[in-house]
């Protein structure tokens, strides 16, 4: 996909409108979902999406290939979305960084997420702070790597991993799942289980 995107950007830089249409068709859905979760308003998200591609049309010639085209698009979309965030609750305070805790088995949050259906996850996502929704959207919705998410958000990779850890735990707590489904065996009564979920294996540092 990366090579195809780059070819489209080069054609857009040369004034090819069809190339812009192809790039839009390829990425618009995931960008719109990302903008909507940041803004919380469908119309404003659609405006942010349109302005993202206006910026692409105007700035394609300046693309320097220091990132993938997809990462570049999400960075533009994020800026356009945040321009439209004018009201709502104040931005949440920065979350504390926590050490990465490797685990040989999925934590309680992974169990909850695995058992929840899509509608429940969507409803729970809507209750999370923007800082949590955003990293979940980029990692699981847009399927960006930790390094790509770090570039989009302008933060270190370690911070991405920490935010993702907190976000997964917050999402699991927001899901209406019976605690008996989460507490497997003796973990329900152990102090370690009550202290918080362990980071799933797939999120460990390489």
CB-based contact 100:173 (threshold 8 Å)? no
Query: DSSP character for 101?
Result: -
**List of domains in the chain:** 2-83 (1.10.1740.10), 108-203 (1.10.10.10)
pLDDT in tens, 117-134: 567 777 777 888 888 888
pLDDT attached to residue 195: 41
pLDDT at 200 over 60: no
Can you point out the beta strands (E) in 83-189? none
Q: How far is CA 84 from the centre of its chain?
A: 18
pLDDT in tens, 42-64: 888 898 999 999 999 999 999 98
pLDDT at 113 over 70: no
**Picking from 8-12, 158-162, 191-195, which range would have the lowest pLDDT averaged per residue?**
191-195
- In whole angstroms, give the CA distance from residue 39 to residue 30: 14
pLDDT at 180 over 80: no
CB-based contact 92:129 (threshold 8 Å)? yes
């Amino acid at each position: 996909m990366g090579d195809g995107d780059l070819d489209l950007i080069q054609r857009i830089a040369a004034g090819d409108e069809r190339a812009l249409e192809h790039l839009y068709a390829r990425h618009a859905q995931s960008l719109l979902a990302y903008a909507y979760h940041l803004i919380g308003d469908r119309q404003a998200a659609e405006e942010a999406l349109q302005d993202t591609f206006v910026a692409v049309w105007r700035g394609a010639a300046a693309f320097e290939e220091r990132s993938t085209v997809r990462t570049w698009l999400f960075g533009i979309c994020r800026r356009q979305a945040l321009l439209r965030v004018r009201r709502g609750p104040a931005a949440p305070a920065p979350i504390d960084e926590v050490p990465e805790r490797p685990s040989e088995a999925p934590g309680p949050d992974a169990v909850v997420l695995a058992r929840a259906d899509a509608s429940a996850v969507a409803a729970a996502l809507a209750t999370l702070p923007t800082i949590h929704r955003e990293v979940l959207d980029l990692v699981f919705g847009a399927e960006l790597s930790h390094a790509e998410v770090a570039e989009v958000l302008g933060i270190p990779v370690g911070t991405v991993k920490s935010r993702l850890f907190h976000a997964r735990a917050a999402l699991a707590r927001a899901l209406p799942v019976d605690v008996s489904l989460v507490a497997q065996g003796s973990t329900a009564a152990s102090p370690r289980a009550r202290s918080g979920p362990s980071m799933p294996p797939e999120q460990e540092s390489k």
